[in-house]
Amino acid sequence: MFLWKPPCWHGAAVAHPQSPQTPKMRLLARLLCIVTQAAWTVNANVEKTIFLAPSPVTLDDARPGLDDVHVRVLSPSHTILSTHIPVRFPTHALPRGLESWYLLRGLAQGQRYEVRICWPATQPTDFWLDTHKVTDVFDTPDLIASLDQYSKQRQAHQLDSRQSIQQAGSTAPESVLFLRLHAAASYYSTNRTLMDYPPPVDVDLILDPFLLNVFPQSLGPVAIYITVVAVAAWFLSGYIYRWLLQHATMSAAADAPPPPPPPPPPPPPPPGPAPNGNPFDDIPAELLLIIFGYVGTNNLMNLALAIYPTLERHNLSPKLTPATLAHILRLTGRPINLSLYPAPVACMPAELWLYVAHYLEPADILSLMFSLGIVFGKALTTQTRDRLKVWSRRSRKKG
């Protein structure tokens, strides 16, 4: 299976797959696997241990001396060690298989470190990693016996000792730890020889210091990459949201029916004579009708004749023809004689005519007044007669 690893830079080395607990973590893990698959995916497994570097010790004070221990070394300057680990199937005497010893030196006191062992998945093996102080190893019979046995085995097999301790004689205090590694074969085969003599396992041992004692230094590039992607996604998501919103708005506008046409403008008022400085010319027709209601019967005819052009402009009065003018003048120049009217007209009181006029249009009301003016009003004054003559001439010119 393909697994993503925090950088095991040489050989078949990867990290344990961590099972995401939420959909968001699962999505992020898959994204990282896709992005880094070409460079950082191999067929492998991993085991690790995390520890704090102890206080420095003087190597000469440790007995027996470290110069007599032929083990390979991991240090901040040599963080990766590729080697072959002998393995054996678990037995009652060796429940964790064979032991191997290594030295961790050059550590910074109080700093957190991680030691990982990475091996191919094609060689199923169980590993256990333990770290021990130098003084604890030399003071514990079981540990010093195991270390001595491993050292003799290395010398007997003439393993490469060029990476053994080269500065054992240094008197400067140094933070040092021993790493004990158990390896047990974890497979089954029908090949009897393979079961009796399991082959050594190719491994990478990696010493990884922690940054600020928080996370391994090898994960620094990954953390920077995730931070850059998150910041870029934050700003890019706003741009994408605005673009999608604009696109959705345009699509909705394209599918919507066209708006109704605007209403037509109101018709212009009917043309009429130009204002002559009369204050009644600026009064609307509705207000004129209200004024007529409060004038009274005796003054109603005089007011209608005084503002006749205004009434005509509002279409509230009939046209003043010469015949109508002559009729008005003839009636007003004689005393009131109701015998000139038909009997029904002469017998009707003025109040009844006003009640009838209540159901007529404004123009018909004035026509009724002109016809029965002798019944409703007083005689016209000289000024009113002159004004009627002038309006009659104007109406004749317009006609």
Question: Which DSSP symbol is given to 333?
Answer: T
* pLDDT value at 120 more than 60: yes
pLDDT tens-digit map of 325-345: 666 666 555 555 555 556 566
Structure tokens at 299: 């003054």
In the three-class reduction of DSSP (H, G, I as helix; E, B as strand; rest coil), residue 85 is classed as strand
Name the pLDDT band for 316 (thresholds 50, 70, 90). confident
Q: What is the mean pLDDT of the chain?
A: 75
Which residues is 215 bridged to in the sheet? 211
Structure tokens at 197: 């003599």
Sign of the Cα pseudo-torsion (56, 59, 63, 66, in order): positive
Beta strands in the chain (DSSP E): 3-4, 41-42, 44-52, 72-74, 80-85, 98-107, 112-120, 125-133, 175-185, 201-211, 215-216
Q: Determine contact, residues 181/127, Cβ cutoff 8 Å.
A: yes
Does the structure show a pLDDT above 50 at 161?
no
Write down the pLDDT at residue 247: 84
Top pLDDT among 352 and 262 is at: 262
Place 11 in a pLDDT band, splitting at 50, 70 and 90: very low
The pLDDT tens digits for 33-62 are 654 554 444 456 899 999 999 998 876 554
101 near 159, Cβ under 8 Å?
Answer: no
Q: How far apart are CA 129 and CA 82, in angstroms?
A: 16
**pLDDT above 90: residue 117:** yes
- The fraction of the chain above a pLDDT of 70, given in percent, is 60
Contact 214, 90 (CB under 8 A): no
3 state SS of 334: coil
C-alpha angle 288-294-299 in degrees, rounded to nearest 5: 90
| Res 275: pLDDT | 52
Question: 53 vs 30, 106, 108, 217, CA distance in Å?
Answer: 35, 10, 6, 16
pLDDT digits (tens, 9 = 90+) for 246-278: 888 888 877 778 778 888 888 776 665 555 566
Q: What is the mean pLDDT of the segment spanning 237-245? A: 89
pLDDT at position 173:
81
Query: What is the C-alpha radius of gyration for the chain, rounded to an integer number of angstroms?
Result: 59
Q: What mean pLDDT comes out for the span 375-399?
A: 63
CA distances 297 to 51, 130, 177, 385, Å, are 118, 125, 127, 19
Question: What pLDDT band is residue 17 in, cutting at 50, 70 and 90?
Answer: very low
How far is 72 from 163, CA to CA, in rounded Å?
A: 6
* 163 token code pair: 């990476």
The answer to whether residues 42 and 10 touch, using CB atoms and an 8 Å cutoff, is: no
Show Cβ contacts of residue 175 under 8 Å, excluding neighbours closer than 6 positions: 53, 54, 55, 56, 57, 105, 106, 107, 108, 109
**What pLDDT sits at residue 324?**
67
Q: Please write the tens of the pLDDT for every residue from 69-99.
A: 788 999 999 999 999 999 999 999 899 999 9
